[in-house]
């Protein structure tokens, strides 16, 4: 039993509190709560937002002809893991969403943000590569190198950084996740992520928004050569207790401490 549960249980048993509601559960952005036809993706040709769970995601569109070009977020249920290149920019390499779901989100780095109407305690999310980025790193393309190089010994890497921001826009911390890493002494340990990986984001604490950035070892005159895409699913957050709830918890902890001291006396 954790300290919060113990505090509340002590208050209940002492008659100081009658609980009428369970503790708040995680609120998860599954993207399955958004309508989407099979084998398709959400890509409005305008700059807008969409909301799943507790989070709102930005989508930016530049009218440069055809389906080009978006930055920030789309959501998708594509499962194409074999078509290389830009025309397959909205597929996740892991085949569908995390934990057997259909929909997931894909970001193309501009300034992708997940924002919340009220501060939340961020728990974590599942991440993987887009098919576009994964196959580019695996095989190389007209712009980006094959990771590891011809010999397989080049120390290449591709990293996602998730940063928490508080209600004043100040950083609460950041978490790095390696989407590919070829820096190992034994090349057999080198990898490109092709499945969904859970990333614990609890170190970011209480946030009002999350920002996402990518960095790569493969860069040129115009910036990063590796396709600046990643996929995310099931972003989980929990509501931050209201002040009166926090005060109640503090009272419970004080009571727990008093009981413990009496037992030790």
How do residues 19-60 score in pLDDT, each as one tens digit?
333 345 799 999 999 999 999 999 998 999 999 999 999 999
H or E, element range at 251: helix 243-264
Distance CA 72, CA 56 (A): 12
Domains of the chain, by residue range, sit at 1-24+245-265, 25-240
The answer to whether residue 202 scores a pLDDT higher than 90 is yes
What would the mean pLDDT of 224-242 be, rounded to a whole number?
94
Task: List Cβ neighbours of 87 (8 Å cut-off, separation of 6 or more).
Answer: none
Token pair belonging to 5: 């549960």
CA atoms within 13 A on the CB side of 87: 4
68: tokens are 């080009």
- Angle (CA) 56-107-51 rounded to 5° is 15
Please tell me the predicted confidence (pLDDT) of residue 97.
Answer: 98
Predicted TM-score of the model (pTM): 0.82
Distance CA 48, CA 202 (A): 28
Task: Classify 167 as helix, strand or coil.
Answer: coil
**Is pLDDT of 243 > 90?**
no
pLDDT value at position 17?
37
**Cα separation, 47 vs 56, whole angstroms:** 13
Q: Which alpha helices (DSSP H) does 23-159 contain, by range?
A: 131-139
Assess contact for 129 and 178: CB atoms under 8 A: no
Q: Is the peptide bond before 136 cis (omega within 30 degrees of 0)?
A: no
**Residue found by looking up tokens 């974590």 in the block:** 124
Residue 147: per-residue pLDDT: 98
250-264: pLDDT as tens digits: 555 455 455 445 554
The pLDDT, as a whole number, for residue 4 is: 42
- For residue range 52-93, list pLDDT tens digits in order: 999 999 999 876 555 556 789 999 999 999 999 999 999 999
Rounded (10°) CA dihedral 221, 222, 227, 230 = 120
What are the pLDDT digits (tens) for 127-180? Answer: 999 999 999 999 999 999 999 999 999 999 999 999 999 999 999 999 999 999
**In this structure, how many other beta carbons lie within 10 angstroms of the beta carbon of residue 43?**
15
Neighbours of 90 (CB within 10 A): 25
Q: pLDDT-derived band of residue 265, with 50, 70 and 90 as boundaries?
A: low
Angle between helical axes of 243-264 and 3-14 (0-180°, round to 10): 80
Give strand ranges (E) for 166-218. 171-181, 191-192, 197-200, 206-216
Q: What is the mean pLDDT of the chain?
A: 86
* Superfamily of domain covering 25-240: Protein of unknown function DUF4465 (2.60.120.1350)
pLDDT for residue 226 is more than 90: yes
Beta pairing partners, 106: 74, 231
What pLDDT does 71 receive?
Answer: 87
């Amino acid at each position: 039993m954790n300290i919060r549960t113990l505090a509340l249980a002590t208050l209940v048993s002492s008659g100081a509190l009658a609980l009428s509601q369970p503790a708040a559960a995680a609120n998860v952005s599954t993207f399955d709560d958004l309508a989407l036809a099979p084998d398709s993706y959400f890509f409005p040709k305008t700059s807008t937002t969409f909301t799943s769970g507790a989070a709102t995601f930005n989508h930016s569109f530049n009218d440069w002809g055809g389906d080009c070009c978006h930055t920030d977020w789309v959501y998708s249920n594509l499962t194409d893991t074999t078509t290389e290149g830009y025309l397959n920019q909205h597929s996740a390499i892991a085949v569908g969403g995390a934990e057997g779901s259909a929909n997931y989100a894909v970001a193309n780095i501009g300034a992708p943000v997940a924002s919340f109407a009220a501060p939340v305690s961020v728990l974590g999310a599942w991440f993987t590569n887009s098919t576009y980025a994964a196959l580019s790193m695996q095989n190389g393309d007209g712009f980006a190198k094959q990771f590891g190089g011809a010999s397989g010994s080049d120390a290449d890497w591709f990293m996602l950084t998730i940063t928490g921001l508080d209600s004043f826009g100040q950083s609460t911390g950041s978490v790095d996740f390696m989407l590919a890493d070829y820096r190992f002494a034994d090349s057999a340990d080198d990898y490109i992520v092709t499945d969904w990986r859970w990333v614990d984001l609890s170190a970011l604490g209480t946030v009002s928004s999350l920002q996402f950035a990518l960095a790569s070892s493969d860069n040129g005159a115009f910036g990063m050569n590796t396709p600046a895409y990643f996929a995310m699913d099931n972003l989980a957050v929990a509501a931050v207790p209201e002040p009166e709830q926090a005060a109640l918890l503090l009272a419970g902890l004080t009571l727990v401490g008093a009981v413990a001291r009496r037992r030790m006396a």
